[in-house]
Structures are given as C-alpha cells and as structure tokens.
C-alpha cells in the first residue's frame, strides 16, 4: 500500500483494525496480556513475523495444551519471560535499582494473574510440562504451593554481589533450580552443574546422599524436588507413583525418602495407613508391570503386559516392557495357531483364541483386563484369583 494509510485487518479475528495496531500489541507483553487468547492465537498463526520468538514459542506451546488451559498457559509463559529477564539480571549482578524495578514489574504481573486465575500449582494445569515449557515453568515456580510469591519476587534473596543461593547446600541448590529455572523436576545432571559441593561420581551414591538430606524428595523417576513441592498437588497420582516404586526398590536411603514423602502427605491430609491400602491386580492406579512381575514369580511365564495388541503375520509383535497403567495383559487367551487357509488349503499362522491345558490361566488374563471368569467353574476360578490377590498384597508391601 503506497498511500501511507494503515493496512486494514479483520477486527473480529485479530482484535485490532490494522497492522500498525497489531504490531503495537505484539511488541508489548502488557498489551498481549490485555488481549483475548483467540486473537493472539490468530495473530501468531497468520502474522508470525509480527511476534518475537518468545511470544511465538509461548503461543505454540499453549496451543498444544487442552483448550481449557491454553489461555492460562500462554499468559503464564509471557509472564515467565519477564521472570527470566529478572533471573538473568540477578545472575549477572545488575545494579540493585534495576533488579528491584524488574522484580516489582514481575511481581505485579504474577499477583494479578494469581488473583484472576488462581494458583497454577493446583488442579489440571499443574501437570502442564514438556518441550518449550521453560517460561511457563518459570511462572509456575514464582508461586509457592500455598499461593504465595516466591522469595525471589518478594525480594527476600540476598543478591547484593553474591549468588542468590548457597551452591554448597544441596537443598538450596534444588530449591533454587526448581523455583527459578525451567527444570521441574530437577535432573541429577542439572544438580551437578549448579552445585559447587564435593559430590561422588556415582549417580546412585549421590542419590543416597540427597535422599538423606532434609527438604529434598527423590521422584519415582530418580529426579529431585523440594520436599514440600513433591508432597503437594495431585496426592492420588503422587501416592500411586510412590507405592509403585516402593514395590521394587531395595532397602536404603532412597526407599526411606519415598516413605518419608508418604509420611509428609499423611501429615498434611487425612490418609489411610499404607498397610490398610488394598491393592487389586486389576486396578489401574499404579504401575501394572508390578502385577506381571508378581505373576511370573508365581509361574505364569507366558503372561506379558503390553501397551496394545499388535499382530503381524499371525504373531504378536507388540513391544515388551510397557510400564504404564493403561496396557493389556496377553499370552494365554490368544496366541499364534496354525489354521488351514480356506482359499489355498495351506496351513498359515493366525493370531486367535487358543486352547490351553490350564483354562484358569486364560480366565486370570481376562480378569486382569477387567473381565470376570465365566463357565461352570467360575466360582472356583474366582476363589483362586482371590487367593492370588491376597498373595499379591503381601508381596507388594
């Protein structure tokens, strides 16, 4: 357009009437936060060159979340970018006045967001993670589990000419990384990079040391979190993961750390004693590969646990080693059987129902997948299954 007049755009789609106004919106975090998410998403999609890399990254990450969470995730990521600027200023020892100004700006945005949407460490949104989650995690880490601003935003960290934390103190290092860097939970590698303490080279030995340190929790995957954060949030999910790993880990500091986490959860909320929890082999709230391990110990060697049934050339080819809670058990009810092809008359391998000398094994497999034993011996089968359930409860504890 050589007339000099602003280029018009669709007001209903973008929330602005022309490109000049659109560029003003995308160049200012405060303006972005004042706009509707649907407008921002359309701008980032249709005019990608009008937004900077941080905004584009935030919009792309948010768009990949469930629709009900997208706006909050985008807004949090934008604010997280501001928190990142503050972190860099602290790390690079900028002047106190500049740091205070950045802190006040970030704290105001976080407080406003907290009042508008609530604590991001609670509910479904607390589970948001993944690639490109860095700025979102910085925002989430700026708010404590009980809905308070982090020490950094409250100005409680002494950063005048020194580091913002004691890099020789294991608990302080983990809390610093958790609250102020996009690593949730913290890997051993990241901990080693940030710590200046003398550490053993062996990862398992280091985990033992950290597991014995007050204020530190070891996750079910072997990562690190502050104890108060690890024992807050979705208690049912956390407890299921802890109980799953307790069934396979040996005695020692790491197991004691998992038990301590359960004690912390129990102290915060009314909780059932661990010995009173009833484990069912057909339940899906814990790692069901533990059921497979138990049953193989009982002699059910043909049983396998897979994510889904995949068959090629009449044979089960599903990948082994699945450890989630939504898989299926296989091995006894169906298998590779040679059957005569009606057209060619040749015997060909087919994955189908198979006969077995022990019909109970097939009924047990059916039970593990949510069914019930049937037939004239159904009651006898259930009696054997109940006996196995009792043994399983003893075994997993």
For residue 163, pLDDT beyond 60: no
Could you tell me the residue ranges of all domains in the chain?
Answer: 191-277, 289-396
Residue 147, both tokens? 């809905």
How does DSSP assign 37-49, residue by residue?
Answer: HHHHHHHHHH-GG
Confidence at residue 110, expressed as pLDDT on a 0 to 100 scale: 94
Long-range contacts of residues 162-168, Cβ cutoff 8 Å, at least 24 apart? 164/90, 164/91, 167/194, 167/195, 167/196, 167/197, 168/195, 168/196, 168/197
pLDDT: which is higher, 218 or 277: 218
CB 152 within 8 A of CB 180: yes
pLDDT tens digits for range 85-126: 887 777 667 788 888 899 999 999 999 999 999 999 888 888
Confidence at residue 218, expressed as pLDDT on a 0 to 100 scale: 94
Q: How confident is the model at residue 150 (pLDDT cuts 50, 70, 90)?
A: confident
Q: What is the mean pLDDT of the chain?
A: 81
**pTM given for the model:** 0.45
Of 334, 330, 285, 290, the C-alpha closest to 308 is 330
What are the angstrom distances between the C-alpha of 188 and each of 17, 134, 174, 210?
50, 18, 10, 10
pLDDT tens digits for range 245-280: 888 888 999 999 999 998 888 776 644 444 545 667
Beta bridge partners of residue 304, listed in sequence order: 330
CB 220 within 8 A of CB 206: no
């Amino acid at each position: 357009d050589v007339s000099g007049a602003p280029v018009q755009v669709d007001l209903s789609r973008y929330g602005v009437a022309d490109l000049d106004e659109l560029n003003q919106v995308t160049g200012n975090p405060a303006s972005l936060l004042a706009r509707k998410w649907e407008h921002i998403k359309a701008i980032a999609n249709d005019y990608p060159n009008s937004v900077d890399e941080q905004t584009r990254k935030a919009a792309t990450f948010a768009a990949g979340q469930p629709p009900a969470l997208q706006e909050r995730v985008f807004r949090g990521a934008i604010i997280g970018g501001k928190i990142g600027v503050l972190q860099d200023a602290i790390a690079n020892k900028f002047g106190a006045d500049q740091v205070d100004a950045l802190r006040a700006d970030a704290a105001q945005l976080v407080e406003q967001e907290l009042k508008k949407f609530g604590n991001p460490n609670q509910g479904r949104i607390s589970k948001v993670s993944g690639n490109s989650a860095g700025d979102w995690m910085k925002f989430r880490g700026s708010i404590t589990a009980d809905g308070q601003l982090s020490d950094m935003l409250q100005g409680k960290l002494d950063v005048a000419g020194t580091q913002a934390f004691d890099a020789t103190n294991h608990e302080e290092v983990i809390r610093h990384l958790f609250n102020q860097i996009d690593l949730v939970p913290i890997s051993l590698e990241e901990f080693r990079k940030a710590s200046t303490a003398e550490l053993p080279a062996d990862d398992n030995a280091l985990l033992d040391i950290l597991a014995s340190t007050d204020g530190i929790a070891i996750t079910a995957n072997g990562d690190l979190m502050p104890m108060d954060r690890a024992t807050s949030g979705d208690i049912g999910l956390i407890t299921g993961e802890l109980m799953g790993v307790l069934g396979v880990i040996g005695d020692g500091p790491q197991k004691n750390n998992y038990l301590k986490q359960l004690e912390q959860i129990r102290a915060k909320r009314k909780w059932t004693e661990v010995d009173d929890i009833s484990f069912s082999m057909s339940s899906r709230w814990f790692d069901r590969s533990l059921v497979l391990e138990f049953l193989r110990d009982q002699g059910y060697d043909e049983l396998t646990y897979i994510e889904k049934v995949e068959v090629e050339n009449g044979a089960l080819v599903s990948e082994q080693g699945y450890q989630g809670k939504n898989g299926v058990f296989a091995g006894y009810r169906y298998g590779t059987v040679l059957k005569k092809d009606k057209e060619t008359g040749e015997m060909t391998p087919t994955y189908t129902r198979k006969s077995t000398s022990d019909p109970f094994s097939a009924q047990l497999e059916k039970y593990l997948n949510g069914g019930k034993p049937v037939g004239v011996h159904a009651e006898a089968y259930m009696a054997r299954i109940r006996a196995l359930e009792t043994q399983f409860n003893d075994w997993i504890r």
